[in-house]
Amino acid sequence: MSQHKPNTFRAGPDAEGRFGIHGGRFVAETLMPLILKLEEAWKQAKTDADFIAEMDFYRKHYIGRPSPLFFARRITAHFGGARLYFKRDELNHTGAHKINNVLGQALLAKRMGKTKIIAETGAGQHGVATATACALFDMECDVFMGAEDVMRQKPNVDRMRLLGAQVHSVTSGTGTLKDAMNEALRFWVTHADSHFYIIGTAAGPHPYPAMVRDFQTIIGNEAKAQILEAEGRLPDAIVACIGGGSNAIGLFHPFLDDESVAIYGVEAAGRGIDSGAHAASLNGGRPGVLHGNRTYLLQNDDGQIQDAYSISAGLDYPGIGPEHAWLHESGRVNYVSATDQQALDAFALCSRLEGIIPALEPAHALGFIGTMIGDMDKEQIVIMNLCGRGDKDLEAVLPILEKQNKLSGKLL
Protein backbone atom coordinates (compact mmCIF):
# COMPACT_ATOMS: atom_id res chain seq x y z
CA MET A 1 0.00 0.00 0.00
CA SER A 2 1.32 3.39 -0.96
CA GLN A 3 1.11 5.79 1.98
CA HIS A 4 1.73 9.08 0.19
CA LYS A 5 -1.26 11.34 -0.02
CA PRO A 6 -1.29 13.36 -3.23
CA ASN A 7 -3.01 16.76 -3.20
CA THR A 8 -5.02 15.73 -6.24
CA PHE A 9 -6.31 12.34 -7.29
CA ARG A 10 -7.24 13.65 -10.73
CA ALA A 11 -3.84 14.28 -12.31
CA GLY A 12 -3.10 10.78 -13.64
CA PRO A 13 -1.93 9.13 -15.75
CA ASP A 14 1.72 10.24 -16.16
CA ALA A 15 3.34 10.64 -19.59
CA GLU A 16 3.84 6.87 -19.88
CA GLY A 17 0.20 6.25 -19.10
CA ARG A 18 0.87 4.97 -15.59
CA PHE A 19 -1.33 5.35 -12.53
CA GLY A 20 1.25 4.58 -9.82
CA ILE A 21 2.71 1.23 -10.94
CA HIS A 22 -0.46 0.36 -12.90
CA GLY A 23 -1.49 1.08 -16.46
CA GLY A 24 1.22 1.69 -19.03
CA ARG A 25 1.45 0.41 -22.56
CA PHE A 26 2.38 -3.23 -23.08
CA VAL A 27 1.76 -3.72 -26.80
CA ALA A 28 3.37 -5.25 -29.88
CA GLU A 29 6.04 -3.08 -31.54
CA THR A 30 3.88 -2.80 -34.67
CA LEU A 31 1.09 -1.12 -32.69
CA MET A 32 3.27 1.52 -31.07
CA PRO A 33 3.21 4.10 -33.91
CA LEU A 34 -0.54 3.75 -34.11
CA ILE A 35 -1.05 4.10 -30.38
CA LEU A 36 1.12 7.21 -30.35
CA LYS A 37 -0.92 8.68 -33.22
CA LEU A 38 -4.12 7.93 -31.35
CA GLU A 39 -2.77 9.57 -28.20
CA GLU A 40 -1.81 12.69 -30.15
CA ALA A 41 -5.20 12.84 -31.91
CA TRP A 42 -7.02 12.54 -28.60
CA LYS A 43 -4.86 15.18 -26.97
CA GLN A 44 -5.77 17.63 -29.73
CA ALA A 45 -9.42 16.67 -30.02
CA LYS A 46 -10.29 17.05 -26.35
CA THR A 47 -9.53 20.76 -26.30
CA ASP A 48 -10.74 21.46 -29.85
CA ALA A 49 -13.89 23.60 -29.90
CA ASP A 50 -15.31 21.84 -32.99
CA PHE A 51 -14.84 18.38 -31.48
CA ILE A 52 -16.38 19.47 -28.19
CA ALA A 53 -19.35 21.02 -30.01
CA GLU A 54 -19.85 17.82 -32.03
CA MET A 55 -19.76 15.69 -28.86
CA ASP A 56 -22.25 18.02 -27.18
CA PHE A 57 -24.57 17.78 -30.19
CA TYR A 58 -24.67 13.96 -30.23
CA ARG A 59 -24.90 13.73 -26.46
CA LYS A 60 -27.97 15.91 -26.46
CA HIS A 61 -29.78 14.85 -29.62
CA TYR A 62 -28.74 11.21 -30.04
CA ILE A 63 -27.91 9.81 -26.59
CA GLY A 64 -30.51 11.97 -24.83
CA ARG A 65 -28.29 13.65 -22.26
CA PRO A 66 -28.30 15.00 -19.66
CA SER A 67 -29.74 11.95 -17.91
CA PRO A 68 -31.89 12.85 -14.88
CA LEU A 69 -30.82 12.59 -11.24
CA PHE A 70 -33.81 10.97 -9.56
CA PHE A 71 -34.61 10.85 -5.84
CA ALA A 72 -35.55 7.22 -5.07
CA ARG A 73 -38.19 8.05 -2.47
CA ARG A 74 -39.60 4.59 -1.85
CA ILE A 75 -36.26 2.79 -1.62
CA THR A 76 -35.04 5.55 0.71
CA ALA A 77 -38.09 4.96 2.93
CA HIS A 78 -37.59 1.18 2.70
CA PHE A 79 -34.06 1.31 4.12
CA GLY A 80 -34.82 4.20 6.50
CA GLY A 81 -31.41 5.87 6.25
CA ALA A 82 -29.70 8.30 3.88
CA ARG A 83 -31.45 9.83 0.89
CA LEU A 84 -30.74 7.79 -2.24
CA TYR A 85 -30.50 9.35 -5.71
CA PHE A 86 -30.16 7.46 -8.99
CA LYS A 87 -28.08 8.88 -11.83
CA ARG A 88 -30.25 7.56 -14.63
CA ASP A 89 -27.84 6.53 -17.35
CA GLU A 90 -30.13 3.59 -18.15
CA LEU A 91 -32.22 6.13 -20.10
CA ASN A 92 -29.48 6.66 -22.68
CA HIS A 93 -30.00 5.44 -26.24
CA THR A 94 -29.07 1.71 -26.31
CA GLY A 95 -29.88 1.46 -22.60
CA ALA A 96 -26.60 2.00 -20.78
CA HIS A 97 -23.58 4.25 -20.29
CA LYS A 98 -21.47 2.53 -22.96
CA ILE A 99 -22.72 4.81 -25.73
CA ASN A 100 -21.07 7.82 -23.96
CA ASN A 101 -17.67 6.34 -24.71
CA VAL A 102 -18.46 4.73 -28.06
CA LEU A 103 -19.76 7.94 -29.61
CA GLY A 104 -16.66 9.77 -28.44
CA GLN A 105 -14.27 7.21 -29.90
CA ALA A 106 -16.27 6.97 -33.14
CA LEU A 107 -16.10 10.74 -33.57
CA LEU A 108 -12.36 10.58 -32.89
CA ALA A 109 -11.99 7.83 -35.53
CA LYS A 110 -13.90 10.01 -37.99
CA ARG A 111 -11.61 12.91 -37.21
CA MET A 112 -8.59 10.65 -37.85
CA GLY A 113 -10.04 9.69 -41.22
CA LYS A 114 -10.75 6.07 -40.25
CA THR A 115 -13.87 4.39 -41.58
CA LYS A 116 -13.28 0.86 -40.26
CA ILE A 117 -13.95 0.00 -36.64
CA ILE A 118 -13.16 -3.05 -34.51
CA ALA A 119 -14.43 -3.80 -31.04
CA GLU A 120 -14.51 -6.64 -28.53
CA THR A 121 -17.61 -7.51 -26.59
CA GLY A 122 -18.55 -9.86 -23.76
CA ALA A 123 -22.27 -9.78 -23.09
CA GLY A 124 -22.71 -7.84 -26.31
CA GLN A 125 -23.63 -4.44 -24.85
CA HIS A 126 -20.46 -2.72 -26.05
CA GLY A 127 -20.77 -4.48 -29.41
CA VAL A 128 -24.32 -3.17 -29.83
CA ALA A 129 -23.28 0.37 -28.87
CA THR A 130 -20.38 0.22 -31.34
CA ALA A 131 -22.53 -1.20 -34.15
CA THR A 132 -25.00 1.61 -33.43
CA ALA A 133 -22.36 4.33 -33.79
CA CYS A 134 -21.02 2.67 -36.95
CA ALA A 135 -24.49 2.70 -38.51
CA LEU A 136 -24.86 6.36 -37.57
CA PHE A 137 -21.51 7.38 -39.07
CA ASP A 138 -21.47 4.94 -42.01
CA MET A 139 -18.48 2.96 -40.78
CA GLU A 140 -17.53 -0.68 -41.29
CA CYS A 141 -17.84 -2.61 -38.03
CA ASP A 142 -16.12 -5.87 -36.98
CA VAL A 143 -16.99 -7.14 -33.52
CA PHE A 144 -15.05 -9.92 -31.77
CA MET A 145 -17.06 -12.00 -29.35
CA GLY A 146 -16.22 -15.26 -27.57
CA ALA A 147 -18.01 -18.28 -29.07
CA GLU A 148 -19.49 -19.10 -25.68
CA ASP A 149 -20.90 -15.57 -25.40
CA VAL A 150 -22.26 -15.70 -28.98
CA MET A 151 -24.41 -18.61 -27.85
CA ARG A 152 -25.40 -17.09 -24.50
CA GLN A 153 -26.22 -13.62 -25.86
CA LYS A 154 -28.05 -14.31 -29.10
CA PRO A 155 -30.37 -11.26 -28.98
CA ASN A 156 -27.34 -8.94 -28.90
CA VAL A 157 -25.71 -10.85 -31.77
CA ASP A 158 -28.93 -10.34 -33.74
CA ARG A 159 -28.97 -6.63 -32.88
CA MET A 160 -25.39 -6.13 -34.02
CA ARG A 161 -26.06 -7.92 -37.32
CA LEU A 162 -29.22 -5.90 -37.89
CA LEU A 163 -27.18 -2.74 -37.37
CA GLY A 164 -24.78 -3.91 -40.06
CA ALA A 165 -21.85 -5.32 -38.06
CA GLN A 166 -19.82 -8.47 -38.80
CA VAL A 167 -19.64 -10.58 -35.63
CA HIS A 168 -16.54 -12.79 -35.32
CA SER A 169 -17.07 -15.79 -33.06
CA VAL A 170 -13.80 -16.39 -31.17
CA THR A 171 -13.15 -20.03 -30.26
CA SER A 172 -9.69 -19.70 -28.68
CA GLY A 173 -9.24 -20.03 -24.92
CA THR A 174 -12.55 -20.35 -23.11
CA GLY A 175 -14.42 -18.43 -25.80
CA THR A 176 -15.25 -15.50 -23.53
CA LEU A 177 -14.50 -11.78 -23.20
CA LYS A 178 -10.75 -12.00 -22.47
CA ASP A 179 -10.29 -14.19 -25.58
CA ALA A 180 -12.35 -11.78 -27.68
CA MET A 181 -10.15 -8.90 -26.52
CA ASN A 182 -6.97 -10.90 -27.31
CA GLU A 183 -8.31 -11.63 -30.79
CA ALA A 184 -9.34 -8.01 -31.40
CA LEU A 185 -5.83 -6.85 -30.40
CA ARG A 186 -4.29 -9.49 -32.71
CA PHE A 187 -6.51 -8.40 -35.59
CA TRP A 188 -5.61 -4.79 -34.92
CA VAL A 189 -1.87 -5.52 -35.17
CA THR A 190 -2.34 -6.69 -38.77
CA HIS A 191 -4.87 -3.98 -39.72
CA ALA A 192 -3.44 -1.08 -37.76
CA ASP A 193 -3.29 1.37 -40.66
CA SER A 194 -6.90 1.00 -41.72
CA HIS A 195 -8.79 0.22 -38.49
CA PHE A 196 -9.67 2.09 -35.30
CA TYR A 197 -10.14 -0.09 -32.20
CA ILE A 198 -12.96 1.09 -29.91
CA ILE A 199 -12.30 -0.41 -26.46
CA GLY A 200 -15.39 -0.75 -24.28
CA THR A 201 -14.10 -0.06 -20.79
CA ALA A 202 -11.46 2.00 -19.00
CA ALA A 203 -8.76 -0.62 -19.61
CA GLY A 204 -6.22 -1.60 -22.29
CA PRO A 205 -3.00 0.21 -23.23
CA HIS A 206 -2.55 3.96 -22.68
CA PRO A 207 -4.29 6.22 -23.80
CA TYR A 208 -7.45 4.08 -23.61
CA PRO A 209 -8.01 4.04 -19.81
CA ALA A 210 -7.72 7.85 -19.61
CA MET A 211 -9.61 8.48 -22.84
CA VAL A 212 -12.54 6.23 -21.94
CA ARG A 213 -12.63 7.85 -18.51
CA ASP A 214 -12.73 11.31 -20.04
CA PHE A 215 -15.69 10.34 -22.23
CA GLN A 216 -17.52 8.87 -19.23
CA THR A 217 -16.91 11.76 -16.80
CA ILE A 218 -20.00 13.36 -18.32
CA ILE A 219 -21.81 11.15 -15.77
CA GLY A 220 -20.06 12.59 -12.72
CA ASN A 221 -20.00 16.15 -14.04
CA GLU A 222 -23.75 16.11 -14.60
CA ALA A 223 -24.43 14.38 -11.27
CA LYS A 224 -22.39 16.97 -9.37
CA ALA A 225 -24.24 19.91 -10.93
CA GLN A 226 -27.59 18.16 -10.43
CA ILE A 227 -27.11 17.30 -6.76
CA LEU A 228 -25.93 20.86 -6.04
CA GLU A 229 -29.13 22.10 -7.62
CA ALA A 230 -31.38 19.57 -5.87
CA GLU A 231 -29.80 19.59 -2.38
CA GLY A 232 -27.44 22.57 -2.36
CA ARG A 233 -24.49 20.40 -1.36
CA LEU A 234 -22.28 17.49 -2.33
CA PRO A 235 -23.35 13.90 -1.60
CA ASP A 236 -21.89 12.02 1.37
CA ALA A 237 -21.28 8.92 -0.72
CA ILE A 238 -21.29 7.84 -4.36
CA VAL A 239 -21.56 4.23 -5.54
CA ALA A 240 -21.10 2.40 -8.84
CA CYS A 241 -20.64 -1.18 -10.02
CA ILE A 242 -17.37 -2.33 -11.55
CA GLY A 243 -16.77 -4.55 -14.56
CA GLY A 244 -13.76 -3.00 -16.24
CA GLY A 245 -14.61 0.18 -14.38
CA SER A 246 -15.77 2.72 -16.98
CA ASN A 247 -19.15 3.75 -15.55
CA ALA A 248 -17.56 3.88 -12.09
CA ILE A 249 -14.60 6.07 -13.03
CA GLY A 250 -17.00 8.26 -15.01
CA LEU A 251 -19.02 8.95 -11.87
CA PHE A 252 -16.06 9.02 -9.46
CA HIS A 253 -13.50 11.16 -11.23
CA PRO A 254 -15.14 14.58 -10.80
CA PHE A 255 -15.54 13.82 -7.04
CA LEU A 256 -12.07 12.40 -6.33
CA ASP A 257 -10.75 15.60 -4.75
CA ASP A 258 -13.89 16.24 -2.69
CA GLU A 259 -12.66 14.78 0.58
CA SER A 260 -16.07 14.72 2.24
CA VAL A 261 -17.44 12.34 -0.40
CA ALA A 262 -16.98 8.63 0.39
CA ILE A 263 -16.59 6.56 -2.78
CA TYR A 264 -17.55 2.89 -3.23
CA GLY A 265 -16.81 0.67 -6.23
CA VAL A 266 -18.81 -2.55 -6.13
CA GLU A 267 -17.28 -5.68 -7.65
CA ALA A 268 -19.26 -8.82 -8.45
CA ALA A 269 -18.74 -11.42 -5.73
CA GLY A 270 -20.65 -14.09 -7.68
CA ARG A 271 -21.22 -17.06 -5.36
CA GLY A 272 -18.95 -15.43 -2.77
CA ILE A 273 -15.27 -14.35 -2.85
CA ASP A 274 -14.27 -17.49 -0.93
CA SER A 275 -16.00 -19.75 -3.47
CA GLY A 276 -13.55 -18.71 -6.18
CA ALA A 277 -16.55 -18.14 -8.51
CA HIS A 278 -16.51 -14.35 -8.71
CA ALA A 279 -15.33 -11.38 -10.77
CA ALA A 280 -13.72 -9.34 -7.98
CA SER A 281 -10.29 -8.45 -9.41
CA LEU A 282 -9.33 -6.11 -6.55
CA ASN A 283 -10.85 -8.10 -3.70
CA GLY A 284 -9.78 -11.50 -5.04
CA GLY A 285 -6.97 -10.95 -7.57
CA ARG A 286 -3.39 -9.69 -7.73
CA PRO A 287 -1.30 -7.49 -10.04
CA GLY A 288 -0.15 -8.69 -13.45
CA VAL A 289 -0.21 -7.67 -17.12
CA LEU A 290 -3.11 -8.29 -19.49
CA HIS A 291 -4.47 -6.55 -22.57
CA GLY A 292 -1.72 -3.96 -22.69
CA ASN A 293 -1.73 -2.72 -19.10
CA ARG A 294 -0.64 -3.61 -15.58
CA THR A 295 -3.51 -3.99 -13.14
CA TYR A 296 -5.17 -6.42 -10.73
CA LEU A 297 -6.21 -9.68 -12.39
CA LEU A 298 -7.88 -12.92 -11.47
CA GLN A 299 -5.14 -15.52 -11.84
CA ASN A 300 -4.22 -18.94 -10.54
CA ASP A 301 -1.00 -19.80 -8.67
CA ASP A 302 0.90 -20.10 -11.97
CA GLY A 303 -0.21 -16.64 -13.13
CA GLN A 304 -2.71 -18.01 -15.67
CA ILE A 305 -5.71 -15.74 -16.13
CA GLN A 306 -8.79 -17.26 -14.57
CA ASP A 307 -12.23 -16.79 -16.03
CA ALA A 308 -14.39 -14.48 -14.03
CA TYR A 309 -17.85 -15.55 -12.92
CA SER A 310 -20.91 -13.41 -12.21
CA ILE A 311 -24.62 -13.77 -12.83
CA SER A 312 -24.16 -10.47 -14.63
CA ALA A 313 -22.40 -11.01 -17.97
CA GLY A 314 -21.35 -7.33 -18.03
CA LEU A 315 -19.26 -7.69 -14.89
CA ASP A 316 -17.35 -10.90 -15.63
CA TYR A 317 -14.08 -9.38 -16.86
CA PRO A 318 -11.02 -10.90 -15.10
CA GLY A 319 -9.29 -7.51 -14.84
CA ILE A 320 -10.08 -3.93 -13.87
CA GLY A 321 -9.03 -0.57 -15.28
CA PRO A 322 -5.60 0.53 -13.99
CA GLU A 323 -6.84 3.78 -12.47
CA HIS A 324 -9.03 1.75 -10.10
CA ALA A 325 -5.99 -0.39 -9.15
CA TRP A 326 -4.23 2.84 -8.18
CA LEU A 327 -7.24 4.36 -6.39
CA HIS A 328 -7.50 1.10 -4.44
CA GLU A 329 -3.85 1.21 -3.35
CA SER A 330 -4.02 4.93 -2.54
CA GLY A 331 -7.07 4.25 -0.38
CA ARG A 332 -9.23 7.00 -1.93
CA VAL A 333 -11.90 4.60 -3.16
CA ASN A 334 -13.36 1.70 -1.18
CA TYR A 335 -13.71 -1.42 -3.30
CA VAL A 336 -16.41 -3.66 -1.90
CA SER A 337 -18.52 -6.42 -3.42
CA ALA A 338 -22.02 -7.81 -3.77
CA THR A 339 -23.03 -11.41 -4.49
CA ASP A 340 -25.35 -12.75 -7.19
CA GLN A 341 -28.10 -13.09 -4.60
CA GLN A 342 -27.72 -9.54 -3.28
CA ALA A 343 -27.93 -8.27 -6.87
CA LEU A 344 -31.02 -10.38 -7.59
CA ASP A 345 -32.79 -9.09 -4.48
CA ALA A 346 -31.91 -5.50 -5.42
CA PHE A 347 -33.11 -6.13 -8.98
CA ALA A 348 -36.54 -7.16 -7.66
CA LEU A 349 -36.64 -4.39 -5.05
CA CYS A 350 -35.84 -1.58 -7.49
CA SER A 351 -38.42 -2.85 -10.00
CA ARG A 352 -41.13 -3.12 -7.35
CA LEU A 353 -40.46 0.08 -5.40
CA GLU A 354 -39.36 2.54 -8.07
CA GLY A 355 -40.82 1.19 -11.31
CA ILE A 356 -37.33 0.96 -12.74
CA ILE A 357 -36.00 -2.41 -13.90
CA PRO A 358 -32.25 -2.03 -13.46
CA ALA A 359 -29.57 -3.99 -15.30
CA LEU A 360 -28.01 -6.72 -13.16
CA GLU A 361 -24.76 -4.72 -13.09
CA PRO A 362 -26.08 -1.65 -11.20
CA ALA A 363 -28.24 -4.05 -9.16
CA HIS A 364 -24.91 -5.05 -7.57
CA ALA A 365 -24.34 -1.42 -6.57
CA LEU A 366 -27.82 -1.29 -5.07
CA GLY A 367 -27.25 -4.64 -3.33
CA PHE A 368 -24.22 -3.16 -1.58
CA ILE A 369 -26.08 0.06 -0.76
CA GLY A 370 -28.72 -2.04 1.01
CA THR A 371 -26.04 -3.24 3.46
CA MET A 372 -24.99 0.26 4.55
CA ILE A 373 -27.50 3.00 3.78
CA GLY A 374 -29.86 2.12 6.64
CA ASP A 375 -27.05 2.91 9.11
CA MET A 376 -26.49 6.36 7.63
CA ASP A 377 -28.09 9.51 8.95
CA LYS A 378 -31.42 10.55 7.37
CA GLU A 379 -29.91 13.89 6.35
CA GLN A 380 -27.12 12.23 4.38
CA ILE A 381 -27.13 11.78 0.63
CA VAL A 382 -26.01 8.86 -1.55
CA ILE A 383 -25.80 8.87 -5.37
CA MET A 384 -25.77 5.57 -7.25
CA ASN A 385 -25.03 5.24 -10.95
CA LEU A 386 -27.98 3.39 -12.45
CA CYS A 387 -25.85 2.68 -15.50
CA GLY A 388 -28.10 0.32 -17.46
CA ARG A 389 -31.62 -0.98 -17.84
CA GLY A 390 -32.59 -4.57 -17.16
CA ASP A 391 -34.61 -5.66 -20.18
CA LYS A 392 -31.60 -7.66 -21.38
CA ASP A 393 -31.50 -9.61 -18.11
CA LEU A 394 -35.10 -10.76 -17.79
CA GLU A 395 -34.48 -14.15 -19.36
CA ALA A 396 -31.71 -14.92 -16.87
CA VAL A 397 -33.36 -13.38 -13.81
CA LEU A 398 -37.05 -14.27 -14.00
CA PRO A 399 -36.78 -18.07 -13.62
CA ILE A 400 -34.62 -17.57 -10.51
CA LEU A 401 -36.92 -14.97 -8.92
CA GLU A 402 -39.90 -17.23 -9.70
CA LYS A 403 -38.23 -20.18 -8.02
CA GLN A 404 -37.33 -18.06 -5.01
CA ASN A 405 -40.90 -16.72 -4.78
CA LYS A 406 -39.68 -13.17 -5.19
CA LEU A 407 -41.92 -12.16 -8.10
CA SER A 408 -44.46 -10.10 -6.19
CA GLY A 409 -46.87 -9.62 -9.13
CA LYS A 410 -49.16 -12.54 -10.06
CA LEU A 411 -50.46 -14.05 -13.28
CA LEU A 412 -54.06 -14.82 -12.36
Ligand X SMILES: *Cc1c(COP(=O)(O)O)cnc(C)c1O
Give the 3-state secondary structure percentages of the chain, helix then strand then coil, rounded to 5: 45, 20, 35
Number of residues that bind ligand X (CB under 6 A): 18
Exactly one of 246, 330, 339, 342 binds ligand X (CB under 6 A); which one? 246
* Least Cβ distance, residue 355 to ligand X (angstroms): 18
- Fill in the DSSP letter of residue 200: S
Q: Please name every residue paired with 263 in a beta bridge, in sequence order, or none if there are none.
A: 238
Closest listed residue to residue 123, CA positions, set 400, 322, 350, 396: 396
Nearest residue by C-beta to ligand X? 388
* Least Cβ distance, residue 334 to ligand X (angstroms): 16
Exactly one of 160, 180, 241, 397 binds ligand X (CB under 6 A); which one? 241
Cα gap 105→63, rounded to integer Å: 14
Looking at beta carbons only, is 141 or 320 nearer to ligand X?
A: 320
Cα gap 184→175, rounded to integer Å: 13
What is the pattern of x (binds ligand X, CB under 6 A) and - over residues 96-125? Answer: x-x--------------------------x
Is residue 245 part of the contact set for ligand X (CB under 6 A)?
yes
Looking at beta carbons only, is 81 or 127 nearer to ligand X?
A: 127
What is the pattern of x (binds ligand X, CB under 6 A) and - over residues 173-212? Answer: ----------------------------x-----------
Those residues whose C-beta lies under 8 Å from the C-beta of residue 305, and which sit 6 or more positions away, are 178, 288, 290, 297, 298, 299, 318
Exactly one of 59, 387, 393, 397 binds ligand X (CB under 6 A); which one? 387
Ranges of beta strands (E only) in 230-333 are: 237-241, 262-270, 286-290, 293-297
Looking at beta carbons only, is 98 or 178 nearer to ligand X?
A: 98
* Least Cβ distance, residue 259 to ligand X (angstroms): 25
Looking at beta carbons only, is 204 or 243 nearer to ligand X?
A: 243
Pick the stretch among 39-47, 139-147, 235-243, 270-278 that binds ligand X (CB under 6 A): 235-243
Q: Phi first, then psi: what are they for 16, rounded to 5°?
A: -90, 5
Looking at beta carbons only, is 182 or 201 nearer to ligand X?
A: 201
What is the pattern of x (binds ligand X, CB under 6 A) and - over residues 41-80? Answer: ----------------------------------------
Of residues 356-385, those binding ligand X (CB under 6 A): 359, 361
- How far from 24 is each of 195, 206, 289, CA to CA, in Å? 22, 6, 10
CA atoms within a 13 Å half-sphere pointing along the CA-CB vector of 3: 0
Q: Which bin fits 12, alpha (ψ -120 to 50), beta or left (φ > 0)?
A: beta
What is the pattern of x (binds ligand X, CB under 6 A) and - over residues 122-141? Answer: ---x----------------
CA atoms within a 13 Å half-sphere pointing along the CA-CB vector of 334: 12
Question: How many angstroms from the chain centroid is the CA of residue 329?
Answer: 20
Find the helix or strand (DSSP H, E) in which 23 lies: strand 22-23
Residues lying near ligand X in the complex (CB under 6 A) are found at: 96, 98, 125, 201, 241-248, 314-315, 359, 361, 387-388
